[in-house]
Amino acid sequence: MTTALAVIPARYASRRFPGKPLAPILGRPMIAWVVEAARRAERVDRVLVATDDERIVRAARAAGAETRLTRSDHATGTDRVAEAVRGETADVILNLQGDEPMLRPQSVDRLVAAFDDPEVRMATLGVRGVTEADRLDPMKAKIVVNARGDALYFSRAPIPYRHLGSGVAELGADGIEEEAWRHVGSYGFRPEVLADLVGRPRGGLEAIEDLEQLRALESGWSIRVVEIEDEPICVDVPQDVGHVETVLRSRGEGVLR
């Protein structure tokens, strides 16, 4: 059975939320919630936090994770993950977002399980169906997926375009675009794919959209989209912490399976 090394990239100097990985959520630093989700996943062998700050190292170790100090100038989390796993051996390397404290262990397991298919080289999480508000929101990445379950494209734009002139119905404010998926930014890689990707320059579509996964598509790699039902709330700004705490209280404190 395929198992994985889960890596959580976490930098201190977030432009919109400095010190974000250490932000307290119900009395625990945010990074601890993500570490717990990874540690409770049945198909994860080890959990590693990759960071550029000793304060995050201390919090991650207190939560039960291994740690690696990395450079502070990485352009993406994937580049930070690649530095952290040099010399490591694993079937699959996971890049779990450090700002998604509501990530569930079973979602992590589903991501690893995608690699039971030997043809899968890279995978990511997604929620099927996008509200019209999210489809129009450039801060939320959308995916269109082929019949095989692989991503055709990721975009901040409202994809797919609804050509009303061809008879497609207008969605309306409460509509759901069933042909689009909401991207959840955790990834899995075969080690050789990760090494290949970080050796390629950032440019083209990735630079235009500011979406790192487009580097893989432009390089010719397929990305399997793994469906999950519950979209974790991403903490982008300090105001998001209160929203997350409210939801966690409604479910009962702690990571739920």
What is the pLDDT at residue 254? 55
Closest-CA residue to 188 (of 214, 223, 219, 212): 223
Alpha carbons 50 and 70: distance in angstroms, whole number? 6
What residue type is 63 in one-letter code?
Answer: A
Q: Is 144 helix (H, G, I), strand (E, B) or coil?
A: strand
What residue type is 166 in one-letter code?
Answer: S
pTM higher than 0.75, yes or no?
yes
Asked whether the beta carbons of 60 and 10 are under 8 A apart, the reply is yes
Domains annotated for the chain, with CATH where assigned, are: 4-237 (3.90.550.10)
Alpha carbons 130 and 133: distance in angstroms, whole number? 8
Over its C-alpha atoms, the chain yields an Rg (Å, rounded) of 18
Alpha carbons 91 and 189: distance in angstroms, whole number? 9
Alpha carbons 69 and 55: distance in angstroms, whole number? 11
Alpha carbons 167 and 147: distance in angstroms, whole number? 23
What Cα–Cα distance (Å) separates residue 150 from each residue in 97, 126, 145, 223? 21, 11, 5, 5
pLDDT in tens, 194-220: 999 999 988 799 999 999 999 999 999
Closest-CA residue to 12 (of 48, 70, 55): 55
pLDDT in tens, 125-173: 999 999 999 999 999 999 999 999 999 999 999 999 988 888 788 887 7
Alpha carbons 90 and 155: distance in angstroms, whole number? 30
